[in-house]
Structure 1
Amino acid sequence: MATVNLFFDTRATTENETVRRVGIIKIAVTHNRTKRLYTTGIKTDSDQWQSLPKKGEKLDSRVKDEKRLKLYADIYSMPNGFYRRAESIVEALGANFDFEAFKDAFDNWGIEKKVEAEKTDLLSTLSTKSETLLKNGQVSHGTNFGALSKSLQRFIHTLTKSECKEYGLSVGNPRNPQPLKLEYRHITPDFLKHYEEWMLHEGKASRGEPSQSPKSKPKGVSITTVSIYTRALRTLFNEAIEAGIIKQETYPFSTRKGSTKYVIPESENIKKALSRTDIDKVKSYQPEPDSMEQRAHDLWLFSYYGNGMNIADLCRLKQNNLTKDYIHFERAKTKASNKKKPVIISVKINEVMARILSHWGNLDKSKNAYVFPFLNNSMDAAQQKQTIHQVIKMTNKYMKRVGEKLGIEGDLNTYAARHSFATTLQRTGAPISFIQSRLGHKKSSTTEIYLAGFEPEQESKFLSEL
């Protein structure tokens, strides 16, 4: 274990100080036969040095000289005297002692290490997070974090002075000249509850219309948007705790209903799956050949038969995802979070899917070419997202018309294809674990959201057994 001693260093004194026998008191630390000196910054003469106890022994009670008493206190007082702090550091480091760690602790003794301001600045963190995700091609997530930042800034500008004071904020309205600053410490359960209420009533961002006019009525967002934004905030808190930026006790979220902390709202689960009868209607429908209606109908069927593959993944399929009888792919939505353990989904290509591939597939069959000719390798992530959005929009537009022609109630959209795939498997008796693997979900609870329940005739059959 390292040892601590005092050292009187006269080497750096001036000629005049040498004559007066002046030196600097330093802490000498010895470890594994190596000695290092650490200055206390205290200059004194040799007489004072000679009278100073060298190992913390008590000073003679008869000593009345103020200089000697002060020197003794500066070196040996508990716990901040230079000798005492050195002893404490050595003891704390124990078997892990090294001179670099000792120097850092000795130089910064009594100074609380503060986390860099930019790491506690939530708006700055949101901006960095958004830029990083967008750069990595995760356009949806990146856009959400950017939108959250703007939403929080709009919310803060609506707060009164008393509300700002309550949350510890230094800015309450646009006329306040102070720069807007939001830190993790400001996000309390009460802040989040207030933010949710504001979002539901007036949190919708304007899109160029004169909604800033005093006469215009504010519009709220959906509970789903509230959930998306607050889950994004929760993600930042989890990352900040893991990085040691904030402490666990400051965490404002809870999953337990009735908790005094903030519970993220769950959007109402509106069942999107079709009945068996409606699915059969869609299958047997004959659209006009080579029309946009046929393309929409075929993409819907491809999604349905393809393990409920969403249109974004369908558009991103490449030739190297195909084998003779199967499609093997990884969901774009979860790809970034599954880097260590990729979840590969395998889809058996049936006759309907094979026909669709033959009819609408890309003529370029090289390994890196896209299966469907919606995307190309020259597009960046933003262009791909925009194209996929347009494909989904047009598919939903024409499938809505198909649904009206067939008398199907509800939206016959791309979501319905994925939900209907899951629910059809459930109704045939497939276990949730099997459906979960087909959909590529990490948790069975996510899969359960997709399941619409049983057909009326099945319910009657089960209940008749009571």
Structure 2
Amino acid sequence: MEKITKKAVISLYQDTRKPNAEGLCPIRIQVYYGRQRYFPTNIRLSEEDFKNSYKTSKPKGERLRELKVELQAIESKANEVVDEIKVFTFEKFEKLLYATRSSLTNIIDHYQTYIAELDKNDQTGTSSSYSCSINSIREYFNSARINPIEVITFDMITPELLNKYENWMIAMDNSRTTVGIYLRALRKIFNQAIDEGIIDKEIYPFKKYKIPTGKNTKKAIEAPDLKKLFNADTKGNIFQEKAKAFWFFSYQCNGMNIRDISELKFKDLHGTYFSFLRHKTIRTTKEDPKPIIVPITDYVKWVIEKYGNKKGKPNDYVFPIFSPGMDAKERHRVNQNFVRFINQHMKKLAKNNGMDIKGTMEARHSFTTQVTRKQGMEFAQEALGHTTLATTQNYWAGFQSETKKEMADMLMNFEEPKTKGKQQERIRQR
């Protein structure tokens, strides 16, 4: 195994493989750090000039001496970049080497670079969140200006400014949750710039300024209302019927997110169960991904048969929500539209039956409530796909206090649960 040097070694190298019409060959920056990589300069020289200037300790003639100084300046800049990087990578070196000083300190440019990286990794939802964050920050800076600014430097973001931005956001009728989402993105950009040695940690504003957090109150639907909603008559409205089917599919399938339902493929079906990796966390847990196992009940089977594709190859989607060939942005857009479809028609169905439902997340929250009460926190952790029990505990902590009280009261209920009617019969009657 090749040994990694403690520090990247810089030198200049002439690539003589493809000289131009004048016989001049490009000069490249050679970087050795366990392996070699080459980075271009804008200089081309004859082999003789490169040998008699850069490779000679005392070049003869003013032209060659000036040429040596120019080449040494390039080498010196490359070494300065190496010294600025705390943990060396070729990617960081390339970014710092070619970036202008204004680009290095311009937060807008850092956002755009990171957004491009997220798009490249098909993290479209996160990319959209970062785009909203920087657009909001730019809007704040330009709210009192006639001519919009295109440069926002790191040192302009102070604790005082962040407090003003927060107040401005609230005054613009944004929630504290939204403010928190946008500023956590900004904090990430700051942390990256510090890690890359671009800015000094002394200007980090989040030591004094604390990002607000929303109440994050999670609403779960109790069993009597779940039964009422499940049996609700859609009166022939095919849109409400479809929305209800996917809402309860999510509920029964471990509170499965709609995006994961959209991504489900025939290769994930295994007879009596199906398995999937959560789209939301697949990148953060890619070293040890643990699939979530979901039993295929009669109801799950009914939804697949009624609304799924009839036939498919292993890599084909089970449900006709996504189409082959869609890129990441298109899949994100289509999924968001499908979520809105379910939310819109479930709200109408619930309202018609004297209930209030906000959207698809209540299916997940309702599943969490029921399974935690009946099976315990560890079972809920596995079913929800949380990597740690602490995540499940934090998730449960967001539920209403009366729900927790009811759970505590159940501990004193020593009666055997009454047998309820079979759901399977209702499914067969559909």
Residue number in structure 2 paired with 1:130: 115
Call closer, same or farther: CA 1:197–1:378 in 2, change over 3 Å: same
Unaligned runs of 5+ in 1: 1-35, 40-99, 160-172, 203-219, 255-260
Question: Do residues 356 (structure 1) and 356 (structure 2) align?
Answer: no
| Residues 220 and 399, structure 2, Cα contact 8 Å, conserved in 1 | yes
Match of 2:198 among 232, 245, 250: 245
Summarize the alignment of residues 110-121 of structure 1 with structure 2, pairs less than 5 Å apart: 116=99, 117=101, 118-121=103-106
Q: How does 1:53-202 map to 2 (within 5 A)?
A: 116=99, 117=101, 118-158=103-143, 173-175=145-147, 180-202=150-172
1:411 partnered with 2:357 = yes
2:182 is aligned to 229
- Shift in Å at residue 290 of structure 1? 7.9
Question: More displaced, 334-343 or 353-362?
Answer: 334-343
**Is 2:366 aligned against 1:420?**
yes
Partner of 1:4: none
Does structure 2 retain, via aligned residues, the 8 Å contact 1:133–1:141? yes
Q: Does the Cα contact within 8 Å between 2:347 and 2:358 map onto a contact in 1? A: yes
Contact in 2 for aligned 1:403/1:411 (Cα 8 Å): yes
How far apart are 1:131 and its partner, in Å?
Answer: 2.4
SS at match of 2:133: helix
Q: How far apart, CA to CA, are the structure 2 residues paired with 1:342 and 1:119?
A: 36
Q: For 2:275, which of 328, 334, 340 is the aligned residue?
A: 328
Cα distance between partner residues in 1 of 2:272 and 2:319: 17
Q: Secondary structure at the match of 2:281?
A: helix
Residue number among 201, 209, 223 corresponding to 1:262 in the alignment: 209
For normalisation by structure 2, the TM-score amounts to 0.68
SS in 2 for 1:447: helix
* Map of 1:46 onto structure 2: none
Shift of 1:354: 1.1
- Give the share of equivalent positions with the same residue, in percent: 31
Q: Quick one: which of 395, 399, 423 aligns to 1:447?
A: 395
Instruction: State the Cα RMSD in Å.
Output: 3.3
Inter-CA distance 462–352: structure 2 relative to 1 (3 Å threshold)? closer
Could you give the per-residue CA deviations for residues 94-127 of structure 1, whole angstroms, max 9, x where no partner exists?
xxxxxx9xx959x97xx99998522332100111
Partner-residue secondary structure (3-state), 1:347: strand
Q: Output the CA distance in 1 between the equivalents of 2:368 and 2:407.
A: 17
What is the alpha-carbon distance in structure 2 between the residues aligned to residue 332 and residue 175 of structure 1? 41
Deviations, residues 321-356 of structure 1 (Å, cap 9, x unaligned): 211122211111222333333242221221111111
Q: Equivalent residue for 2:266? A: 319
Offset at 1:391?
A: 1.5
How much has 1:382 moved relative to structure 2? 2.3
Alignment of 1:385 with 2:357, yes or no, is no
CA distance in 2, matches of 1:459, 1:430: 12
Question: Structure 2: which amino acid aligns with 1:231?
Answer: R
| Residues 1:340 and 2:293 aligned together | no
Q: State the distance in 1 between where 2:327 and 2:376 align.
A: 40
- Conserved 8 A contact 1:422-1:451: no
Query: Which position in structure 2 is the counterpart of 1:42?
Result: none
**Greater shift in the superposed pair: 363-372 or 301-310:** 363-372
2:269 is the counterpart of 1:297: no
What SS is found at the alignment partner of 1:328?
Answer: strand
Distance (whole Å) between structure 2 residues aligned to residue 376 and residue 299 of structure 1: 18
**Between Structure 1 and Structure 2, whose CA radius of gyration is higher?**
1
Q: How far off is 1:38 after superposition?
A: 7.4
Summarize the alignment of residues 277-292 of structure 1 with structure 2, pairs less than 5 Å apart: 277-288=224-235, 291-292=238-239
- TM-score, normalised with respect to structure 1: 0.63
Find the counterpart in structure 1 of residue 222 from structure 2: 275
Maintained 8 Å contact 1:306/1:347: yes
Shift of 1:289: 6.0
Runs of 5+ consecutive residues of structure 2 not aligned to the other structure: 1-54, 59-71, 86-95, 414-430
Return closer, same or farther for 1:343/1:193 CA change in 2, 3 Å cut-off: farther
Match of 1:89 in 2: none
Letter paired with 1:185: D
Q: Is the 8 A contact 2:217 2:399 kept in 1?
A: no
CA 1:462–1:319: 2 relative to 1, 3 Å? closer
For 2:298 and 2:329, locate their aligned partners in 1 and report how far apart those are by CA, in whole Å: 34
Match of 2:418 in 1: none
Q: Aligned letter for 1:250?
A: I
1:307–1:418 contact (8 Å) kept in structure 2: yes
SS at match of 1:253: helix
Q: How many residues are matched? A: 328
Query: Structure 1 CA distance, aligned partners of 2:291 and 2:400?
Result: 25
The 2-side partners of 1:374 and 1:305 are apart by 19
